[in-house]
Amino acid sequence: MVIDMKKYSEMSQCELNAEFESVKAQYEALNSLQLSLDMSRGKPGSENLDLSNSLLDLVNADNGQKNIDNIDCRNYGFMDGIREIKELFGEILGVPATQVIAGGNSSLTMMFDTIAQGMTHGLGDKPWAMVENRKFLCPAPGYDRHFGITEYFGFELITIPMNSNGPDMDMVEEYVKDESVKGIWCVPKYSNPDGITYSDEVVKRFAGLKPAAKDFHIFWDNAYVVHDLYGEGDKLLNLYDECVKCGSEDMPIMFASTSKVTFPGAGVAVEAGSPNTIKMLKSRIKFQCIGPDKINQLRHARMLPNVDAVKAQMKKHAEIIRPKFDAVLCELNQTVKDTGIAHWETPKGGYFISLYVMENTAKRVEELCKNVGLTLTPAGASYPYGKDPSDSNLRIAPTLPSVDDIKTAAKVLSIAVRYAALEKMV
């Protein structure tokens, strides 16, 4: 343990050598632990999953399979889902229920399908397949699977730096002057991975965008909209309301899901937008789908009849996840902070801690961890094309392992972060 640490940058070469020897010894000692730990994936742990087991009993042979509108949820039809789910998520996302489409278990699939629709039929202008130099804005670090979708569809990915209040809006406003820029990926609350919630000003500037492309869309993935870890958590301004004020209500397409509320492998996803947007999405969905899994929607409606029930559920999740976040943050604060070689956000919710280690050492930290049995998300994964220009960001996912394992993993991480820095400095 390193206590009363001097900043590495203020150490003499001799002090650095001694520190490196000490850290090296700590690192070597890790080998004997024969660890097998994984902080790479934003998956809930089984304790979190257990919180929703009652979901599985809420629609059964005896208790009726009809929803509030007397729809037999076992049969075909109702391509935009059942009313209960549309009402619940309408309230969560701040739009009328009629402007919500409730689908299957993956909001990522809804995003993919929407981009695919843009490619073949356009989203308000000609098909994107016909736009040769199509571009998509990617606030980074961000969600690798977002970037993956637009890369798959042949967009040039434009990196937008993330500030502490959201994406760099000066840059966004500049880029949207280019008609070939067709959209932007956003995780506006507890962003993946930084855990940043966009400020009111950022949301307002999004609503006020005047893109050259009339089919520019904001892909507003509100994946962590109810995923507070500390008390009431951050407040996010309602983008849709702001857009209505600006007359830009057709610009955002909003997404959410119960993936980390109930079960990632058996949840319900939704998308929402203006009446025009919903009409446009349904013009495709009516060919793609006769109806989503309405029985699973009914299960969710019974378990989560209103927003208060969602909040109560999320409090239980927070009680399990918070100590895991605390364990990582505590270790970093105790053993890394004073060295001055790394910094990180302290998110009030979400699923990740975003750690910025010394430039050009993130890949090395990943490797050092791997060699003693700790798997991290590959360095660079949170950047377009998987390439972090500074090689400094690491996405830490502390939700899946136990608290004890997280404590151990955090120690390993801390040692590796210092090791990699000292290697460069001595």
CA 387 to chain centroid, in Å, comes to 18
H or E, element range at 301: helix 294-303
Between CA 263 and CA 53 the distance in angstroms is 9
Q: Which two tokens stand for residue 88?
A: 């619940």
Q: Is residue 53 close enough to count as binding a copy of itself by CB under 8 A?
A: yes
133 vs 288 by CB, closer to a copy of itself: 288
Q: Token pair 């409090």 is at which residue?
A: 315
Distance CA 159, CA 382 (A): 11
Stretch of 5-13, 113-121, 213-221, 273-281 lying at the interface with a copy of itself (CB under 8 A): 113-121
- Binding characters for a copy of itself, 242-281, by CB under 8 A (x = yes): -----------------x---xxxx---------------
Which pair of structure tokens corresponds to residue 243? Answer: 């857009």
Task: Name residue, tokens 């073949």.
Answer: 120
| Alpha-carbon torsion, ordered 207, 260, 305, 93, to 10 deg | 0
68 binds a copy of itself (CB under 8 A): no
Among 16, 295, 403, 426, binds a copy of itself (CB under 8 A): 295
Q: Which of 120, 133, 333, 346 binds a copy of itself (CB under 8 A)?
A: 120
Residue 159 backbone phi and psi in degrees, to 5: -75, 125
- What is the spatial distance between Cα 407 and Cα 401, in angstroms, rounded to a whole number? 10
Query: 211 near 181, Cβ under 8 Å?
Result: yes
Taking contact as CB under 8 A, which single stretch among the options 27-35, 47-55, 240-248, 387-395 is the one that binds a copy of itself? 47-55
Q: Would you count residue 289 as binding a copy of itself (CB under 8 A)?
A: yes
Instruction: Rule CB under 8 A: choose which of 30, 44, 239, 270 binds a copy of itself.
Output: 44
Compute the distance between CA of residue 193 and CA of residue 379 in angstroms, rounded to an integer: 12
Work out which of 94, 96, 148, 323 binds a copy of itself, going by CB under 8 A: 148
At closest approach, how far in Å is the CB of 92 from a copy of itself?
21
Q: Residues interacting with a copy of itself, by CB under 8 A? A: 41, 43-44, 46, 49, 52-54, 56-57, 59-61, 65, 72-77, 104-106, 108-109, 112-113, 116, 119-120, 127, 129, 145, 148-149, 152-153, 259, 263-266, 284, 287-296
